[in-house]
Amino acid sequence: MRSLTLAAGLVASLSSIIPGAAAQCLNEVAQYNPTLRTMSSNTTWFIVPIPKEAAQAAVDASYPGQDLTMLDVPDDPSLFPEGWPAGSQPVLVNSGLTDDIRLSALQIDGGLLQGQIYVTYVGRRGSSTPLSAATKGYIAGQNGPLPNGLVPAVASPLLFGGNPLRLGQFQPQGDAYQQNGNDIFGARVAWVIVPNPISGPGVYPNAFDMIFRTASSSRSTEKTFKSLINQPIILPSGMCQRNTYYFGNATAEPIFRNGNVTLGPGASGDSPFSSELQKGSPDGSGFYSSVDGYSACAQNVGFDPQDCEEAARTVDPVALQ
């Protein structure tokens, strides 16, 4: 599948072609969480095996002075039926469209595209409690990074508990992912350094892209994805946030994927030329082949920051079912 590239001609809307590709579920959790940020999230997640040394370097760059370490991945057949590759760390790469965003302190008009990379099974200050650490996150409105992605990016401490977000350039701009061919889908996230939407090319180093197909089975279970997705996220403040995704709604329609993920300079660190996660791939280009994925239109609740140990203890078991 490496030869497959994202189509230059973007289909404006896929809802009439592929059920669920562009369909966005409604926010069904706001009524139960009126004081918290809630939204619906049509997202695709991939679990990418990254060498521990590269994952550690990426985390150190994002969290200086927090004493974060890579924990061993548990030998648990319910999570990894075939085991987890020795010497590597599970890294979540996700891209999608969030909509129906409700937060009393900040109203967001329309949907937002988001792309994030999280290193999972991270320990903090000697603790063996598994947490997630963000390397980089990106956001944009459905009409591009400016102007409707700018306010959420600046307000990311309020919207997302404190994790800073960069302005991103997304392909496609209006949907969670696009169709590139017969049962071939794709999405791309780039780092907007110098936007130039009018007169010519700007500066947009690649953060990551994913090209994938629907899969009838997976080396990872649904429990795997739900467990990793719902690990509390370490914040720059040293606290943690439960950014909880629920998949039990009738409109979630979860489905397994398999595909290729390519990580670029914008995947971690601050260099527009290369990143540790990119250099950690087998050939150093950032290309990771045949990785397992999971797509769904989930319900998302962003809880208030709290002590990391407390956050891990209070992950809602309903989200893991």
Residue 203 gets which letter from DSSP?
B
**What six digits make up the tokens of 78?**
């319910």
pLDDT at 11 over 70: no
At residue 14, the pLDDT reads 33
Q: Is the N-terminal amide bond of 305 cis, ω within 30° of 0?
A: no
At residue 19, the pLDDT reads 37
At residue 153, the pLDDT reads 56
Q: Would you tell me how many other CB atoms lie within 10 Å of the CB of residue 270?
A: 11
At residue 199, the pLDDT reads 55
Task: List CB contacts of 262: < 8 A, sequence separation 6 or more.
Answer: 206, 208, 209, 210, 285, 286, 287, 288
Q: Which of 16-20, 25-29, 123-127, 246-250 is the least confident region?
A: 16-20
- What are the respective helix, strand and coil percentages of the chain, to the nearest 5? 15, 40, 45
Instruction: Give the C-alpha separation, 138 to 190, whole Å.
Output: 8
Instruction: Give the C-alpha separation, 96 to 198, whole Å.
Output: 25
**Residue in the block written with tokens 């889908």:** 185
Domains and CATH numbers, the chain: 30-320 (2.40.400)
At residue 163, the pLDDT reads 78
Residue 229 or residue 181, greater confidence: 229
pLDDT (tens digit per residue) in 27-43: 999 999 988 989 999 99
Instruction: Give the C-alpha separation, 87 to 211, whole Å.
Output: 25
At residue 124, the pLDDT reads 96
* Pairing outcome for strands 243-246 and 287-302: antiparallel
Q: Given pLDDT bands bounded at 50, 70 and 90, which one contains residue 174?
A: confident
The neighbouring-strand residues paired with 242 are: none
CA 79, chain centre distance (Å): 19
At residue 107, the pLDDT reads 56
pLDDT at 207 over 70: yes
Contact indicator for 176, 296 with CB cutoff of 8 Å:
no
Q: Would you tell me how many other CB atoms lie within 10 Å of the CB of residue 136?
A: 28
Mean pLDDT for the chain?
87
At residue 13, the pLDDT reads 32
At residue 18, the pLDDT reads 41
| For range 125-141, the mean pLDDT | 95
pLDDT at 246 over 50: yes
At residue 203, the pLDDT reads 82
E strand or H helix at 60? helix 52-62
At residue 245, the pLDDT reads 98
CA angle at 279 for the pair 275 and 283, rounded to the nearest 5°:
150
pLDDT (tens digit per residue) in 43-82: 999 999 999 999 999 999 999 999 999 999 999 999 999 9
Helices (H), 165-321: 222-229, 276-279, 308-313
Contact indicator for 291, 258 with CB cutoff of 8 Å:
yes
pLDDT at 6 over 70: no
pLDDT at 16 over 80: no
At residue 204, the pLDDT reads 87
Residue 285 or residue 203, greater confidence: 285
E strand or H helix at 298? strand 287-302
Q: Would you tell me how many other CB atoms lie within 10 Å of the CB of residue 311?
A: 24
